[in-house]
Structure 1
């Protein structure tokens, strides 16, 4: 029988198979034979999903009790802890979450995924502050959580940071978090917000961002950019943006505020090895177009490294045209320049004229191809 053949596999192979299953399903394998009972109890990856409990209309207390029994009764390492909930966040106790995370940290946690309903303006449990001093943590992904006050950050092993619909009490908490990740390689931010109350006044001006020297890829989408810009001091002190010496891919979404081209150029200036730049311009139509001013010094990435540049939600404003021309005129290694316009009848009429303007623009790179989508 197929089950018999699977049971003959070595323990390492069975651990690998079980690690892909929700822990409730892994526990159910114990009915197959005595061989499986100790196996699921020793799997280093725990994945808790409340869907089966909700689908069967079981009290939510059964779900939390199962998590307690699974975590607290095991002495083996917990390398991965994944909690995925579809129920309202109010069904999940913040104190329970803190106990589970602390128990996982004590067992050598490396990968933490807390995925709660990403619904704004609802109850959100606070993340346990102990996670920010977990020396073994490599991957941290949070969805639908609050990050409350913490005293310090020490994440010497963290390489991947992924936040979606996460709320920080103050902007400097997020900055403190970044400063405590010395080998961070990948950062993905979508819908990150702040409960903002003059918090910028509490941000020290001598903050050291040398710890981000390993960052290779950054995607910043739908962040509360007005606050983000202010909290970093970028509007007032453009030279304070940290240098990202290893960053090769940057995706930046400009969300709902007036376009700030000096900031965009300053960020490019601080990414000398950047090869792929994506600028998504989700700006509000309530703002007038800004005046384009070419910087006196061309960013190093444009002059020698940039291979691909994409501008999405292009509206055809004069400053957008100026920026696209500036990139093509100064990027000697540029291979593709992609312009994606919004799908409206008015823009479609102007698309040919826009293409003709950019097509006639001088290009530093002989192999640069201009693409409209």
Structure 2
């Protein structure tokens, strides 16, 4: 307890707006610990607007069960919750996954019932066992004040009455399952969306984009993808995303060359794809670029479609000096690709490891 020279308890007598401001900047674990400062601070932590249950928080637990603790915190909490983050998704047994996912659904229901008009930032990592089959509750789509949404390990099915996330600015999806047509519909109903980060390689996107007069997303200017150009469903999804984002300015792709698929189908899909007008795309970065036929075909298309392109950076790691000739041939082939932008420059970064 902090006291001045005259014995006054300065910590307990701080104005409410000051203590609220202090607690609001503390991690949840440290905010709870302020309850030991003095009697006056015992329950001040229950007003914290941001509840973040991350690995650091979990590691600080000794004997307390995470599920029970989250339940208790939500029951004790007073005031608006503007941010709720639960990032703890990994492979578990079927029974454990089912139990924990039911708990996450319960917390989501609580937030939608008590904090619909306050929650702005929501991150939920569900538990996955073998396949992504757990359907996220439809109450999620009633949170109209969301500006940032991150979902992992869940199946997404849009309710027919979904009118959109009118304030959503950032969206991140990882290891999700949904129809391609519904994914494009979701993006079209986020008119303020500026950044979409999608881990596509571990997701299950099926079907096709039906293109039933969907609104294009004119605000989306940053697209981040973790994908494979060997997988046909990945390629279909990438092309559909580019087609629905006419004002895209920055494209950041991380390639995964380990996924086994019939690459010829993916190559043909890109070879015979209708031209996509990427008239505002200025910057492209492709990490873990291996120079596979599918990746090269994608680069060829982007160079032809992006009329305002300025920079394309290809980051690649070649293992062993014996493949030097392949590296040289790839660079030579890239230099020959036609470009619709006279200002486009390709920068190739290769890391060599012996």
Tell me, yes or no, whether TM beats 0.5.
yes
1:82 deviation in Å? 1.2
1:97 deviation in Å? 0.8
2:327 to 316, 326, 333: 316
1:37-83 superposed Cα distances (whole Å, 9 cap, x missing partner): 453222211122465665654252xx222222222344521100012
Do residues 48 (structure 1) and 53 (structure 2) align?
yes
Distance 2:295 2:144 in 1: 47
CA change 1:134–1:321 in 2 (3 A) is farther
Kindly report which structure 2 residues correspond to 1:1-373, keeping only aligned pairs within 5 A, or say none. 10-49=15-54, 57-58=62-63, 60=65, 63-85=66-88, 89=92, 90=96, 93-106=100-113, 107=115, 108-115=118-125, 121=130, 126-143=135-152, 145-152=153-160, 153=162, 154-164=164-174, 166-195=175-204, 199-200=206-207, 203-206=209-212, 208-210=214-216, 212-222=217-227, 225-230=231-236, 241-245=243-247, 247-256=248-257, 258=263, 260=267, 263=270, 269-280=276-287, 282=289, 299=305, 301-302=306-307, 305-313=308-316, 316=327, 321-326=332-337, 330-334=340-344, 337-341=346-350, 343=352
Distance 1:130 1:54 in 2: 30
1:194 deviation in Å? 4.1
1:17 deviation in Å? 3.1
CA change 1:123–1:231 in 2 (3 A) is closer
1:137 deviation in Å? 0.7
Distance 1:28 1:277 in 2: 45
1:34 deviation in Å? 3.5
Q: CA RMSD in A?
A: 4.2
Gaps spanning 5+ residues in structure 1: where? 346-373
Q: Is the 8 A contact 2:289 2:314 kept in 1?
A: no
Q: Is the 8 A contact 1:79 1:111 kept in 2?
A: yes
1:7 deviation in Å? 5.2
1:179-207 superposed Cα distances (whole Å, 9 cap, x missing partner): 322211011122554446xx426x52425
CA change 1:177–1:318 in 2 (3 A) is farther
1:25 deviation in Å? 3.5
CA change 1:243–1:323 in 2 (3 A) is farther
1:99 deviation in Å? 1.7
Q: TM-score, normalised by structure 2?
A: 0.72
Gaps spanning 5+ residues in structure 2: where? 4-8, 318-325
1:297-322 superposed Cα distances (whole Å, 9 cap, x missing partner): 954x43xx333221222863757644
SS in 1 for 2:347: strand
Q: Is the 8 A contact 2:50 2:81 kept in 1?
A: yes
SS in 2 for 1:72: helix
